[in-house]
Amino acid sequence: MHSRTLTQLAADLAARRVSATELTRHFLARVERFDGELNAFVTVTAEQALAQAAAADKRIAAGGATPLTGIPLVHKDIFCTAGVKTSCGSRMLDNFVAPYDATVVERMQSAGIVMLGKTNMDEFAMGSSNETSFYGPVRNPWNHDLVPGGSSGGSAAAVAARIAVAATGTDTGGSIRQPAALSGITGIKPTYGRVSRYGMIAFASSLDQAGTLTQTAADAACLLEAIAGHDVRDSTSLDEPVPRYSKIIEERWENITIGVPESFFDDGLDADVATATRAALREYEKLGATLKSIELDYIHLSVLAYYVVKHAEASSNLSRFDGIRFGHRAANAAAGDLLTFYMRNRGEGFGAEVKRRILTGTYVLSAGYFDAYYLQAQKVRKLISDDFARAFRDVDLVAGPTAPAPAFAIGAKTDDPIQMYLNDIYTIGANLAGLPAMSLPCGFVRGLPVGLQLIAPPLAEGPLLKAAHHYQRATDWHARVPERYA
Amino acid sequence: MQWEMVIGLEIHAQLATASKIFSGASTRYGASPNSQASLVDLGYPGVLPVLNGEAVRMAVKFGLATNCEISHRSVFARKNYFYPDLPKGYQISQYELPVVHGGRVDIVLEDGTTKTVRITRAHLEEDAGKSLHEDFAGMSGIDLNRAGTPLLEIVSEPDLTSAAEAGAYMRKIHALVRYLEICDGNMQEGSFRCDANVSVRRKGEAKLGTRAELKNLNSFRFVEKAIEIEAARQIELIESGGKVVQETRLYDPDRDETRPMRSKEEANDYRYFPDPDLLPIVIDDATVAAIRSTLPELPDQKRERFMADYRLSAYDAGVLTAQRALADYFETVAKRTKAAAKVAANWVQGELTAALHRDTLEIGQSKISAAALAVLLDKIADGTISGKIAKEVFEAVWAGEGTVAEIIDKRGLVQISDSASIDALVDEVIAANSAQVEQFRAGKQQVLGFLVGQVMKASKGKANPQQVNDALRKKLG
């Protein structure tokens, strides 16, 4: 049952081959059995899940179901869920029970989804390995000594180990795509503003975007249909109609041109990953696509620009965590002046990586440095957007590796933030330019999954998902499951 | 040594929107603490601000009324600092690109001349909450009802050179925002408050002196007094060899002094940057034109019109147009009554204003309607009652004893105008005051006033004074 895709299970539920309750019990049992070793969950909401499943079964019986009714899913613990702890992977919010649902959660709920729980993540989504979580690292289902990627590491591991059918995630610089690649599943980061950010705890507001982690592109299409669309509560959400992605992906294949940025295949890329990626591109050629080398002139500046912008925004976004109205308050917080109060609450509540980023962000916004850092970074961002816009005059999609290497060992990069930051090198361009992008399994290197990244023009999620879907029809990388969890 | 003051004002006008600038919570004043703070106002994780379009329209109205340029594109920025009543750890404000900029208003000075004061900019921002340091036994209470209330910060150029000018400018802006109905102007509740930047320099010097910022002045009188005191302090300091330091100071009206508020002001670095949660405000020409068409007649225009239409002096027209409600009241009276507009103006500025002041009421709470006052003035004009009796009627209406007609009737106040009755009264008085009659006949003209007074007294004030006068002259002459 657990190896079936969301799309298959939706058909099973509709045909009454399985009930939502049976499905939910099955997955809860798997969570029970496997999560001790994976640490993918921060909170398991078994009771609520069974109640939702019962409601879903009623709804299916009554005939008012959607394709998602009764599907067991997990939410990254960055999405606020009414009445359920929303920790954002931080000690700061270990005691925080959100009083409301994020738009993504609300929309999934109204579609009839069953929430199994909330998944582990890098603290405040700051990390590429899920090692910065207050709740400890998540283990990669392919090898428990390795990281699953991050920051949506819990979501990725849960789907990869088939202890959830699908998961939500957020992607600020690769936090959906990179763990999808390292865990051997399909991840999509939609166009900036395609999915509402309301209720998603902000990291870097101008880059953050919610998306999904699933077994297949078809599953992603189905979920994205439910969560995308304008939301009056998020001024930056796009007021554009939501296409029927699940229909579009089934449309006849048309020969497209895929741009390949040669700079993505430089020395920084693992040679075996390069080989796997080239092989995936050849697969597209076999499907009838035309490959075209392209130059993205400023992409080499993306890491620099990205780390300035996102740290600047994060330093401000995280100011509200002061221990006054919610969140961690140190035991002796009040025994001193106001500054001490802040220092104790924030000093204890935040982990080292979060502090590092707040410090960096505060620095780049300071008087005298703002122009040199923040303004320059915004200029670079514009250049990178223009780069992509130029490329998309000639090509339909841009393709390349998702991450520079397969999953690495837990602890291998924790002392070297720069090496850790380079994990995002291929993914952050899409965030800086606000473009939709995916990672899909495209092979194995030394027994570990490798992801192919596809990037599309703004709002071209339909063609993007379609290209991924047709690839997945022709290949079976996405169907591989670690033996233990098969 | 001759000194001059250089003053610029930053006025915070709370915009009269029903809900907050970035949330749907009510802006009503006086609710129990934290009962009007939504998740957005509380700065909860994950929530996002959504701009209240009404606040923008109000800001544009102000811009148009003060000859400002309306920015086609303006941007919200975050002003970052930590304080317990600032829930997000930043205030959403406007920094580099304000919604309106580059305007001016004219103020009338005591000597009757007009001075133009330039307005640098006016920008939208959210208010912070309130910290309550008393009442909590060593702890601080925080009330976030005010957090997120829309403010328009109106920044003037340092064009003001005296406390009186600053007061006149502040009154002018106060009148304007109330005319535009974008701010209730209530200074006790903090809806309209002001910071003053004050510096002094030797007369003729071009270079500006170091300024002090006087915070949170919430009455016209305090603004004027605080500026006087602060300028005097600075002059004394410089003359005794000291130097003014740039700092924020607080005016203490009880001790009539200013004193430093925060010593680390210089250390504040607000790290402004554009707020990524909000799109730029884009205002096109059509929107500006549509807003322009909703502007009411403004005080300056109204004053000119009152002078022309009602032949009022500049002074009278100025007083009557200082508040829109007062001007409307006057105009209703003037239009309805047969009496001269000048009479209406005198009554509104005299009896009415005095009664309002006595009972500490606003014009909108007047206990005599404009229509009733018009009727009262008609009664004087047509000779039904004298001006003196009219004051009695006014007070009775004010006290709620009935309409003008009812009171005149009930109290029998109709003026005695028939000559037979008046002649009879005159005869009585002549008979009873032979000594005074002798004096008058001997040429002592001023005695006539006494005799008129006696007749009026005998008539209980109801006799038509002119007729009494005429009758006495006739009989004695």
Domain ranges, ordered by start, for chain A: 6-258+394-485
pLDDT at A421 over 90: no
pLDDT at A92 over 50: yes
- pLDDT given at position B466: 85
* Angle formed at CA A46 by CA A40 and CA A49, multiple of 5 degrees: 105
* Residue A331 φ/ψ, nearest 5 degrees: -55, -40
pLDDT in tens, A221-233: 999 999 999 999 9
A352, with CB counted inside 10 A (0-12, 13-18, 19+), is exposed
Task: Tell me the C-alpha distance between B376 and B327, whole Å.
Answer: 19
A99 at B interface, C-beta within 8 A? yes
pLDDT in tens, B18-32: 999 999 999 998 899
**Mean local confidence (pLDDT), A275-295:** 97
pLDDT at A432 over 90: yes
Of A93, A98, A366, the CB nearest to B271: A366
Task: Tell me the C-alpha distance between B297 and B292, whole Å.
Answer: 11
**Mean local confidence (pLDDT), A132-161:** 98
The answer to whether the CB atoms of A236 and B276 lie below 8 A apart is yes
Task: Suggest the residue from A322, A363, A366 to mutate for an interface test with chain B (most B CBs closer than 10 A).
Answer: A322
pLDDT at A218 over 90: yes
Preceding peptide of B421 cis, ω within 30°: no
Give the full edge-to-edge strand order of the sheet including B76-80: B90-94, B76-80, B273-274
pLDDT at B411 over 90: no
User: What ipTM is given for this predicted complex?
Assistant: 0.96
Sign (positive or negative) of CA dihedral A92, A93, A95, A96:
positive
- pLDDT given at position B475: 85
For chain B, give the mean pLDDT: 93
Six token digits for residue B382: 């047509």
DSSP A391-424: HTTT-SEEEEESSSSS--BTTSSTT-HHHHHGGG
Beta bridge partner(s), residue A454: A399, A438
Element holding A468 (H helix, E strand): helix A461-474
pLDDT at B263 over 60: no
Of A198, A313, A370, the CB nearest to B46: A198
Please name the amino acid found at residue B157.
E
| Through-space distance between the first and last CA atoms of chain B, rounded to whole angstroms | 68
The answer to whether the CB atoms of A316 and B273 lie below 8 A apart is yes
pLDDT in tens, A304-357: 999 999 999 999 999 999 999 999 999 988 888 899 999 999 999 999 999 999
Task: Tell me the C-alpha distance between B432 and B269, whole Å.
Answer: 89
Give the contacts of B273 (CB within 8 A, at least 6 positions apart): A312, A313, A316, A365, A370, A374, B77, B78
B 135-164: CB under 8 A from A: 139, 142
pLDDT in tens, A5-21: 999 999 999 999 999 99
Please name the amino acid found at residue A324.
I
A365 at B interface, C-beta within 8 A? yes
More confident residue, A1 or A158: A158
CATH class held by domain B419-476: mainly alpha
* Residue A319 φ/ψ, nearest 5 degrees: -65, -25
pLDDT at B264 over 70: no
The answer to whether the CB atoms of B45 and A93 lie below 8 A apart is yes
**Mean local confidence (pLDDT), A98-125:** 98
Task: Tell me the C-alpha distance between B234 and B244, whole Å.
Answer: 6
A 316-345: CB under 8 A from B: 316, 318-322, 324-326, 334, 338, 342
pLDDT in tens, A60-85: 999 999 999 999 999 999 999 999 99
pLDDT at B266 over 80: no
Task: Tell me the C-alpha distance between B336 and B332, whole Å.
Answer: 6
pLDDT at B69 over 90: yes
Least confident piece of the model among A280-294, B156-170, B416-430:
B416-430
Contact A38, A138 (CB under 8 A): yes
Query: What 8-state DSSP symbol labels residue A323?
Result: S
Of A96, A198, A320, the CB nearest to B87: A320
Task: Tell me the C-alpha distance between B331 and B351, whole Å.
Answer: 16
Say how far residue B438 (Cα) sits from the centre of its chain. Answer: 57
Band (pLDDT 50/70/90 cuts) for residue B267 is: low
CATH class held by domain A6-258+394-485: alpha beta
Query: What 8-state DSSP symbol labels residue B31?
Result: P
Contact B469, B477 (CB under 8 A): no
Catalytic center residues of A: 76, 151, 175
User: Could you tell me the residue ranges of all domains in chain B?
Assistant: 3-290, 299-410, 419-476
pLDDT in tens, B79-128: 999 999 999 999 999 999 999 999 999 998 888 889 999 999 999 999 99
Element holding A320 (H helix, E strand): none
The answer to whether the CB atoms of A99 and B51 lie below 8 A apart is no
* Residue found under tokens 């409301």: A100
| Through-space distance between the first and last CA atoms of chain A, rounded to whole angstroms | 10
The answer to whether the CB atoms of A313 and B139 lie below 8 A apart is no
Task: Tell me the C-alpha distance between A457 and A433, whole Å.
Answer: 10
Which of A366, A378, A356 lies closest to A304 in space, CA to CA? Answer: A378
Task: Tell me the C-alpha distance between A112 and A137, whole Å.
Answer: 31
Contact B337, B344 (CB under 8 A): yes
The alpha-helical segments, DSSP class H, found in A39-69 are 46-62
* Residue B102 φ/ψ, nearest 5 degrees: 70, 50
Band (pLDDT 50/70/90 cuts) for residue B446 is: confident
Angle between helices B370-381 and B324-336 (to 10 degrees): 40
DSSP B249-313: EEEETTTTEEEEEES-GGG-----EE-TTSPPEE--HHHHHHHHTTPPPPHHHHHHHHHHHH---
Contact list, B276 vs chain A (CB under 8 Å): 204-206, 236, 313
- pLDDT given at position B265: 47
B79 at A interface, C-beta within 8 A? no
- pLDDT given at position B327: 96
| % of chain A exceeding 70 in pLDDT | 100
Contact list, A98 vs chain B (CB under 8 Å): 44-46
More confident residue, A54 or A367: A54
Residue B36, helix vs strand vs coil: coil
Residue A428, helix vs strand vs coil: helix
Task: Tell me the C-alpha distance between A44 and A473, whole Å.
Answer: 34
**Mean local confidence (pLDDT), B231-235:** 96
Contacts 24+ apart (CB under 8 A), A17-23: A19/A53, A19/A57, A19/A60, A19/A70, A20/A52, A20/A53, A20/A54, A20/A56, A20/A57, A20/A60, A20/A69, A20/A70, A20/A71, A20/A114, A21/A50, A21/A53, A21/A54, A21/A57, A23/A53, A23/A70, A23/A71, A23/A72, A23/A114
More confident residue, A248 or B410: A248
pLDDT at A416 over 90: no
Rounded CA Rg of chain A: 21
Query: What 8-state DSSP symbol labels residue A130?
Result: S
pLDDT in tens, B117-162: 999 999 999 999 999 887 787 788 999 999 999 999 999 999 999 9
Contact list, A168 vs chain B (CB under 8 Å): none
Contact list, B271 vs chain A (CB under 8 Å): 315-316, 362, 365-367, 370
**Within 13 Å and on the Cβ side, how many CA atoms surround A298?**
24
Task: Tell me the C-alpha distance between B28 and B30, whole Å.
Answer: 7
Contact B199, B208 (CB under 8 A): yes
Maximal C-alpha separation, chain B: 98
Please name the amino acid found at residue B419.
S
B87 at A interface, C-beta within 8 A? yes
Query: What 8-state DSSP symbol labels residue A334?
Result: T
Band (pLDDT 50/70/90 cuts) for residue B262 is: low
B48 at A interface, C-beta within 8 A? yes
Residue A38, helix vs strand vs coil: helix
For chain A, give the mean pLDDT: 97
pLDDT at A29 over 50: yes
Task: Tell me the C-alpha distance between A95 and A86, whole Å.
Answer: 8
Element holding B190 (H helix, E strand): none
Task: Suggest the residue from A80, A316, A344, A369 to mutate for an interface test with chain B (most B CBs closer than 10 A).
Answer: A316
Six token digits for residue B410: 């009930």
Least confident piece of the model among B111-115, B202-206, B264-268, B313-317:
B264-268
Rounded CA Rg of chain B: 30
The answer to whether the CB atoms of A324 and B88 lie below 8 A apart is no
Contact list, A342 vs chain B (CB under 8 Å): 82
The answer to whether the CB atoms of A320 and B271 lie below 8 A apart is no
B357, with CB counted inside 10 A (0-12, 13-18, 19+), is exposed
The answer to whether the CB atoms of A86 and B142 lie below 8 A apart is no
Residue A471, helix vs strand vs coil: helix
Helices (H) and strands (E) in chain B, counts: 16, 16
The answer to whether the CB atoms of A322 and B89 lie below 8 A apart is yes
Beta bridge partner(s), residue A445: A448
